[in-house]
Amino acid sequence: MKHSNDPISKDMFEIEPATTLDNEIIAKPQLSFAKDAWLRVRKNKAAIVSAVLLLLVIIMAFVGPSLSHFDPYQQDVTKTNLPPRIPGIEKLGILDGSQKIGGVEQNVYEQNNIKEYYWFGTDSLGRDLFSRVWVGTRVSLYIALLAAVIDMLIGVMYGLVSGFRGGKVDNVMQRVLEVISGIPNLIVVILMLLILKPGIISITIAMVITGWVGMARVVRGQVLKLKNQEYILASRTLGAKNNRLLFRHLLPNLSGVIIINTMFTIPSAIFFEAFLSFIGIGLQAPQASLGTLIEDGYKTFQFLPHLMIIPSIVICIILITTNLIGDGLRDAFDPKMRD
Amino acid sequence: MAEREKLLEIKNLKQYFNQGTSNEVRAVDDISFDVYRGETLGIVGESGCGKSTTGRTIIGLYDATDGEVLYQGKDVHAKKSKAETKQLHQSMQMIFQDPYASLNPRMKVNEIIAEGIDIHGLATSKKDRMEMVYSLLETVGLNRDHANRYPHEFSGGQRQRIGIARALAVNPEFIIADEPISALDVSIQAQVVNLLKKLQKDKQLTYLFIAHDLSMVKYISDRIGVMYFGKMIELTTADDLYRNPMHPYTQSLLSAIPLPDPNYERTRKRKSYDPKQHNYGPDEEVKLREVAPGHFVHCSEKEFEEYQKSYKN
Amino acid sequence: MKQLKKKVLEVKDLNISFHTFAGEVQAIRGVDFELYEGETLAIVGESGSGKSVTSKSIMRLLPTNNSEVKSGEILFGDKDIVTASEKQMQKIRGKDISMIFQDPMTALNPTMTIGRQIMEPIIKHQKLGKQEARKRAIRLLELVGIPNPESRLKQYPHQFSGGMRQRVVIAIALACEPKILIADEPTTALDVTIQGQILDLMKDLQKQIETSIIFITHDLGVVANVADRVAVMYGGKIVEVGTVDEIFYNPQHPYTWGLISSMPSLDEKDDELYVIPGTPPDLLNPPKGDAFAPRNPYAMKIDSEQQPPMFKVSDTHYAATWLLHPDAPKIEPPQKIKDRMVEFEKGGN
């Protein structure tokens, strides 16, 4: 603390109390909940990189197939099992369409005089892998959307009602929940096969039956914690009815938990579909899903590695990025980390 | 002397949790008292005495296990028509303890304050509603532009004032203040208490002021009731409680309050209280008895006679 | 009575800031004080005054990711706590300097027995074997007034009441007979009757163990009960410091006047409680002059220009207010304060 050593003039000692008390004014800029969370997420580099990557994947899922000009379902026996060949990069010596067959380096494109460039190669029926991968990604994205919607509609409502009512209603609802969660998803899908053909419908129904359980539990837990908070009591004394309490008070305070939970259900749902397709009770040939592509590819993994590696990389990217984004959001929404 | 109007009558109120089980808690164990229009009745006691539970049961947040809560003669817990319920919500309001938990962190201040207005349809238009919110903000000493902010941007004292504005929005006659200043700094406590006093004068309010800080309660209350383990053990005017504390628990409570006076603190002797010291026999009836006009003490017949004798004027 | 006591701790020109999303919050803006052997120094202030930050900085417990000691020294023995290594600090914490916190519910580990928690510092710092440590733990529990100590050693925190838990926390803090005990609002969360017991206990223990106590609180009644000297903090600085009699009977700073006046007295009927208007300063943008000026009815022009230095009132009493400058006008403090000062004069201080 530095003081000027100049003598202080006498008139400085006149009493002059503050005329207006302006210190009820809040100095910090207004920060809504969303803005606050955004500032926090911004700092998490992993989450930001993941978000960008995921966005790229989503864009490619929609425009990818049209970029390559090949029809994902068209078979062409003259062009089977071609390795990837990308114009431009091939000049670097990789991805130039060459492969080792029986120890000998060969270039099938040149051998068979194939002019077209298959960026990700082709499969055993001559279908372009590039367009198939992105069409398959669309399936995964549909599953992601479905999982999110089911979580939010069924899971949140179930948890809200169960936690808010409490008592007997809660007891019964929780027991039902436990029974449903006790049955493995796989069994439910297999049971579906008794009445439906394997495909996107059977997977959808299986998810509707079981996919919301985690969200319901989490929401119920939060509701139990929040419903005795004083602001809820205050609304009740003001005369608020249950609807108002649920939708205007509880739901907004649950949004953090809901978003985070959804971000984590998505990757497990995507993996679930891929897994089912891989073992043959999900999507069926000739439909393209990342799972069916991996299943096709693993049969010829030894000498046509690209057929399995490329869809695997795509699905890994989707799973890892959604997980990292979920992590970032959870850190951002955690009120304890408020400064 | 004019008959004072009884606004609130509590008769043999009981609030037992987990009744009948091994962990039955008798939070409120048969208390009776009245609150007169225009007065401030303070209820003090330490943690676990049941004062907060009493307040919440009176306003209807909990159902009473037994006993009656009559507001202007009508039973608060009885089945009522929609109109009657609405009327009750408008007449009786509550201010809560924790400034951090009593405001919805996701709602803006104007939505919080206007909630009562919205529920009861007290505003004629959106503009009218905002005008009411602004006027309430100014009444509690805040600015108009605070209306667009979120609770976490305010200090504890300011949040408490927002809570008061919310309660005032429906024009209540009777306000239960459940430890409204316990979580605030000393100088902010004085601000909030002065505000409450001013509002009482301006709007002819009646208060039930629940707290554990005896000095503040004495400052704001006309009469004070002391609770101990669910029972009202002493009830009288604020001055009388300090001049003539009869019940040994009240005496121990008073002797334990630290005062900003080092000389007093150096010489003070604390009195401790042990409920066993009463030595009540199995047949003795222990209840609230009027030891002096307006001064009630929870005691047995024997103690009643002793208290009467030792009462100084 | 002047006794040349040994200095146990000296804080010199401490400046601490926090880096937040909104900017730099200057929590501590130039704090100086000393702590002498065997005394209790109370640091009084409200939320945001910096009292908790001060105490945590003495133990070097501030979060390292966003707090910064911008300048200053905290001298303990031959070490400067500000620059000491973490290893050195671990030797000091719990052994030479101990701390007890406000909330007895969260200060104890709910999954460890009380016995283990008391023995932990003893075993670590004093290198005693388990048997010896156990004996000491039992003696400590007796010291803090917990009956049946042998059986209670095996119990868990949830089996103790709030007051009992605070006693256990005190036992843990005093286990190694530290030179300094920092008590951060130790009785705020307790009922008033329990508070009285705990304060008496602390005073007794202090006499027995001869430790110095830094007692942080916002309750002036508690200060009057326990303190030998008092430092009043506002806006990250100490605005007045003196013996407990000097602060309560001859306060010089308008903030101290406001604090004392805003407590209702038990024996008279106050018509209206004096209120310090407004709210504490925003340390994101601390004001140029005296931080208390906006709320000070006795503020002068100079208060909004320059921060006041510490003016001497007596060898033990200093206040940072321009009102004590020789050129400042003589003003009348509020009636309540004047009455106290009259008593003080009579006492011949």
Q: Is the peptide bond prior to C186 cis by the omega test (within 30 degrees of 0)?
A: no
Cβ contacts of C26 on chain A, cutoff 8 Å: none
pLDDT-based confidence at residue B13 (cuts at 50, 70, 90) = very high
Of A217, A181, A189, give the one whose Cα is nearest residue A275.
A189
* CA atoms C321, C323, C326, C332: torsion sign: negative
**More confident site: B269 or C80:** C80
Residue B313 has pLDDT above 70, yes or no: no
The pLDDT of residue B153: 84
Q: Do A30 and B149 touch (CB under 8 A)?
A: yes
Which residues of C are less than 8 Å from A13 in CB distance?
300-302, 322, 325, 327-329
CA distance C100 to A94: 66
Regarding an ipTM greater than 0.85, the answer is yes
**How much is the pLDDT for B312?**
65
Interface test with C, best of B153, B162, B186, B243 (most C CBs within 10 A): B186
Amino acid identity of B76? V
How close, in Å, is residue C85 to chain B by CA atoms?
Answer: 36
Q: What pLDDT is stored for residue B152 in this prediction?
A: 85
Mean pLDDT of chain B: 90
Q: Which residues pair with C229 in a beta bridge?
A: C41, C243
Go through B58-72 and write b for each residue having 16 or more CB atoms within 10 A of its CB, e for each that does not. bbbbbebbebebbbb
Which pLDDT value is given to residue C3?
Answer: 57
Residue A6 contacts C where some CB pair is shorter than 8 Å:
no
- Quote the pLDDT of residue C313: 93
As a whole number, mean pLDDT of residues B176-197 equals 89
Q: What is the pLDDT of residue A25?
A: 61
pLDDT at A2: 43
Output the pLDDT for position B1: 42
Residue of C nearest to A30 (CA): C22
What is the pLDDT, as a whole number, of residue A264? 86
Window 228-287 of B: residues touching C by CB (8 A cutoff) are 239, 242, 252-253, 255-265, 270, 272-273
Q: Residue A233: name the closest of B52, B19, B120 by CA.
A: B52
State pLDDT tens for residues B285-310.
888 889 889 999 998 888 888 888 88
Q: To the nearest whole angstrom, how far is the Cα of A29 from the nearest Cα of chain C?
A: 8
Cα distances (angstroms) measured from residue A104 to each of A100, A114, B93, B108: 5, 20, 88, 72
Beta carbons of A16 and C300 less than 8 Å apart: yes
Asked whether residue B156 carries a pLDDT value surpassing 50, the answer given is yes
Among the partner-chain residues A24, A32, A238, the one whose CB lies closest to the CB of B119 is A238
Let me know if A259 is exposed, middle or buried by CB neighbors in 10 A (0-12, 13-18, 19+): middle
pLDDT digits (tens, 9 = 90+) for B209-250: 999 888 889 989 999 999 999 999 999 999 999 889 999 999
Model confidence at B157, in pLDDT bands (50, 70, 90)?
Answer: confident
pLDDT at A338: 43
CA neighbours closer than 13 Å in the CB half-sphere of residue C302: 22
DSSP B50: S
Please name each of the domains of chain A with its CATH number.
Answer: 42-80+122-337 (1.10.3720.10)
The Cα-based distances of C44 to B43, B291, C83, C191 in angstroms read 29, 42, 27, 20
**Could you tell me if B173 lies within 8 Å of chain C, comparing CB atoms?**
no
Residues composing chain A: 339
Closest CB to C297: pick one of A3, A17, A29. Answer: A17
Q: Least CB-CB distance to B46: which of C192, C220, C277? A: C192
Q: Given this model, what pLDDT does residue A335 score?
A: 57
pLDDT of residue A22: 52
pTM (2 d.p.) = 0.84
Closest to B233 (Cα-Cα) out of B225, B245, B241: B225
Q: Which residues of chain C have pLDDT under 70?
A: 1-4, 267-271, 347-349
Residues A273-325: tens digit of each pLDDT = 888 888 888 888 788 888 888 888 888 888 788 888 999 999 999 999 998 98
Nearest-CA distance from C264 to chain B in Å?
6
Q: Each residue of B80-97: pLDDT tens digit?
A: 888 888 899 999 999 999
What is residue A53's predicted lDDT score, i.e. its pLDDT?
92
Residues B35-62 have pLDDT tens digits of 999 999 999 998 888 899 999 999 999 9
> Mean pLDDT, consecutive 10-residue segments, chain A of 339 residues?
57 67 58 73 84 92 84 82 79 73 75 79 85 89 88 91 92 94 87 84 86 92 92 92 90 88 88 87 83 86 86 92 87 59
Q: Which residue has the higher pLDDT, B164 or B82?
A: B164
Question: For C282, which residue in chain A has the nearest alpha carbon?
Answer: A27
